């Protein structure tokens, strides 16, 4: 029987189809076993294997440090491992001084081929397999180290995670507590749903608690009661305190806000540039007042007073009578209590005794100025004792 070249018989076609099917099944089996990589991919698998081995040899504190850097700081896992490795070498990771991560082994240099012909050249060339038609190479026949040594149950290193970090409930289950105050490892909680959070998400503000909540409540109350005033500029909560800013047009505005923030009668004020600063307390929350323009108003009041005296953020004109909260009038004797210069006052209509201005303010304040009478009253006129 004569066959025509170029024309395949039915037997040849059947054999070619069977060989093709066998080749496809063989390649699929190699891929399923993880024994088939692209040309040049053996080095990638080798680095992954060394990372897995290094990760398994690290102490638990090192694992916790890497996880914290990746999840809370948003750094890539490779950067997190480098940072944790540097901290471990400095002795800053507890329990890792005697188990430092082993560096990845350097790849062995490939033997150089001889430039000239020789008896070993052909054998070396023969030992190097050539890639198949798909550009793939079975790992078992690759001269590079095999990559199926890692057991299938080996945990993935952080490099396997992407930009989305899963906060799994069972992450780190079974790990022992690290000594020297390391962060505790989360435990599995029945029924807990894993939280998904971007690695770069900001955590909740540190320090938020009942004190901050009270500050927000006090700020809201001040805004509701006083923010409509013309001199009010800003009222806001700042952490565990409340800040108030005003632009005073008269000293009455300044005194109004001292009472509004709960400042005591003997409040200590100070000048900061063109503003006067004071502090009070409302419902256990510190309230800081910044009153712009008050230093100039205090200076104007001092210049206009016949006998000015500055005490606790206020100017008292001792040349005038001082009316307390029950409408009694106190008059200055023109004398001072001691070397500190505290003025002495007496209740009008009495012969004394004299009292220091500070004591009168604390006991019967606030005081407001009133024009003095043309002459002092005689004995027998009604008067109250201090």
Residue where one domain finishes, among candidates 164, 198, 232:
198
Please report the pLDDT score of residue 143 as a whole number: 45
Please report the pLDDT score of residue 366 as a whole number: 84
- Of 105-119, 295-309, 323-337, minimum mean pLDDT range: 105-119
pLDDT confidence tier of residue 48, bands split at 50, 70 and 90: low
Please report the pLDDT score of residue 259 as a whole number: 92
> Does 245 share its domain with 187?
no
CB 243, CB 218: distance < 8 Å:
no
Which residues are within 8 A (CB) of 242 and not within 5 positions of it... i.e. 6 or more apart? 215, 218, 219, 222, 235, 236, 282, 285, 286, 287, 288
> Does 124 share its domain with 223?
no
Q: Please provide the average confidence, as pLDDT, over all residues in the chain.
A: 71
> Does 317 share its domain with 357?
yes
- Of 24-28, 336-340, 371-375, minimum mean pLDDT range: 371-375
Checking if the pLDDT of 375 tops 60, the result is no
Please report the pLDDT score of residue 235 as a whole number: 94
pLDDT confidence tier of residue 84, bands split at 50, 70 and 90: confident
**What value does the mean pLDDT take over residues 79-94?**
78
Please report the pLDDT score of residue 50 as a whole number: 72
Q: pLDDT, tens digit, for every residue of 210-240?
A: 888 889 999 999 999 999 999 999 999 988 8
CA distances (Å), origin 253, targets 10, 121, 217, 262: 109, 100, 24, 15
CB 347, CB 385: distance < 8 Å:
yes
pLDDT confidence tier of residue 318, bands split at 50, 70 and 90: confident
> Does 167 share its domain with 261?
no
> Does 90 share its domain with 215?
no
Question: Using CB atoms within 10 A of its CB, is residue 64 exposed (0-12), middle (13-18) or buried (19+)?
Answer: buried
pLDDT confidence tier of residue 9, bands split at 50, 70 and 90: confident
> Does 171 share its domain with 279?
no
Please report the pLDDT score of residue 261 as a whole number: 93
> Does 251 share its domain with 326?
no
> Does 256 share its domain with 175?
no
Please report the pLDDT score of residue 109 as a whole number: 54
Which residues are within 8 A (CB) of 202 and not within 5 positions of it... i.e. 6 or more apart? none
> Does 290 share its domain with 160?
no
> Does 187 share its domain with 225?
no
Q: Return the residue matching tokens 């992954």.
A: 48
Checking if the pLDDT of 115 tops 80, the result is no
DSSP string, 90-128: TT-STT-SSSPPPPPPPPPPPPPPPSS--HHHHHHHHHS
Please report the pLDDT score of residue 290 as a whole number: 94
Q: Considering the domain boundaries, does residue 10 fall inside one? A: no
Classified as helix, coil or strand, 77 is: helix
Q: Considering the domain boundaries, does residue 364 fall inside one? A: yes
Domain housing 319 = 308-370
Q: Considering the domain boundaries, does residue 172 fall inside one? A: yes
> Does 90 share its domain with 188?
yes
**What value does the mean pLDDT take over residues 285-306?**
92
- 192 vs 47: which has the higher pLDDT: 47
Please report the pLDDT score of residue 108 as a whole number: 54
pLDDT confidence tier of residue 285, bands split at 50, 70 and 90: very high
> Does 47 share its domain with 190?
yes
User: How far apart, in whole angstroms, are the C-alpha atoms of residue 67 and residue 73?
Assistant: 10
The total number of structural domains in the chain stands at 3
Q: What angle do CA 330, 334, 340 make, to 5 degrees?
A: 100
């Amino acid at each position: 029987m004569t066959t025509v070249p170029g024309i395949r018989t039915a037997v040849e076609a059947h054999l070619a189809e069977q060989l093709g099917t066998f080749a496809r099944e063989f390649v699929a089996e190699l891929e399923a076993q993880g024994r088939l990589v692209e040309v040049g991919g053996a080095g990638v698998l080798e680095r992954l294997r060394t990372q897995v081995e290094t990760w398994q040899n690290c102490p638990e504190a090192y694992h916790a440090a890497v996880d914290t850097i990746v999840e809370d700081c948003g750094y890539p896992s490779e950067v997190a491992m480098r940072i944790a490795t540097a901290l471990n070498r400095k002795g800053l990771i507890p329990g890792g001084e005697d188990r430092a991560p082993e560096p990845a082994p350097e790849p062995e240099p490939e033997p150089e081929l001889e430039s000239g012909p020789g008896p070993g050249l052909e054998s070396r060339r023969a030992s190097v397999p050539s890639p198949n038609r798909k550009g793939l190479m079975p790992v078992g026949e690759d001269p590079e180290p095999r990559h199926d040594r890692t057991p299938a149950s080996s945990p993935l290193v952080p490099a396997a995670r992407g930009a989305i970090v899963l906060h799994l409930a069972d992450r780190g289950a079974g790990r022992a507590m690290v000594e020297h105050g390391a962060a505790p490892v989360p435990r599995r909680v029945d029924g807990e749903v894993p939280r998904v959070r971007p690695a770069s998400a900001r955590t909740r503000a540190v320090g938020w608690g009942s004190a901050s909540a009270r500050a927000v409540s006090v700020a809201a109350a001040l805004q509701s009661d006083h923010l409509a005033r013309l001199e009010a500029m800003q009222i806001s909560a700042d952490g565990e305190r409340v800040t108030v800013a005003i632009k005073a047009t008269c000293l009455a505005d300044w005194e109004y806000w001292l009472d509004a923030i709960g400042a005591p009668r003997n409040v200590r004020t100070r000048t900061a540039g063109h503003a006067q600063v004071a502090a009070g307390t409302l419902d256990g929350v510190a309230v800081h007042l910044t009153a712009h323009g008050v230093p100039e108003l205090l200076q104007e009041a001092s210049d206009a007073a016949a006998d000015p005296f500055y005490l606790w953020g206020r100017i008292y004109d001792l040349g005038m009578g001082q009316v307390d909260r029950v409408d009694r009038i106190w008059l200055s004797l023109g004398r001072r209590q001691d070397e500190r210069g505290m003025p002495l006052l007496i209740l009008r209509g009495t012969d004394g005794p004299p009292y220091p201005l500070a004591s009168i303010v604390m006991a019967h304040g606030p005081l407001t100025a009133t024009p003095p009478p043309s002459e002092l009253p005689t004995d027998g006129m009604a008067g109250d004792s201090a």
